[in-house]
Amino acid sequence: EADIYQTPRYLVIGTGKKITLECSQTMGHDKMYWYQQDPGMELHLIHYSYGVNSTEKGDLSSESTVSRIRTEHFPLTLESARPSHTSQYLCASSRKHALDTEAFFGQGTRLTVV
């Protein structure tokens, strides 16, 4: 079992609300990632971090923002949710300095914006 946790697992909110998806890992990993995945579809990298105070945008443009104030914590925030944000959001982490390193995934947050 991977020691990476996402909360909440499921979230249904109204349009215009501000939300924060939480992701925490206890493995001391420097690298953390957020992926967006529609059901049955590919994963799109939306944000990543190589360590504290390091955040970068991924390949897929996203209106979300992230922060990395602590190594173990990598929250994702949507300032004003819209129905187009409905998707599954997956958080992952891996060790920083090794090239041959697997990523560990959380269980995901399924977000529905109504």
Among residues 32, 48, 78, 87, the one that binds other proteins under rule CB under 8 A: 48
Verify binding: residue 62, other proteins, rule CB under 8 A: no
Q: Choose the binding region for other proteins from 11-19, 37-45, 61-69, 70-78 (rule: CB under 8 A).
A: 37-45
- Concatenated DSSP letters for 77-89? EESS--GGG-EEE
Structure tokens at 52: 């504290």
Rank residues 81 and 90 by Cβ distance to other proteins and give the closer one: 90
The per-residue b/e assignment along 14-47, b for 16 or more CB within 10 angstroms, e otherwise, is: eeeeebebebbbeeebbbbbbbbeeeeeeebbbb
Q: What mask, x for binding other proteins by CB under 8 A, covers residues 69 to 108?
A: -------------------x-x-x-x----xx-xxxxxxx
Verify binding: residue 34, other proteins, rule CB under 8 A: no
What distance in Å separates the CA atoms of residue 61 and residue 26, rounded to the nearest whole number? 28
Instruction: Give the residue carrying structure tokens 């923002």.
Output: 65
Structure tokens at 68: 């990395």
Contacts with other proteins by CB under 8 A lie at: 2, 6, 33, 35, 40-43, 45, 48, 58-59, 88, 90, 92, 94, 99-100, 102-108, 110
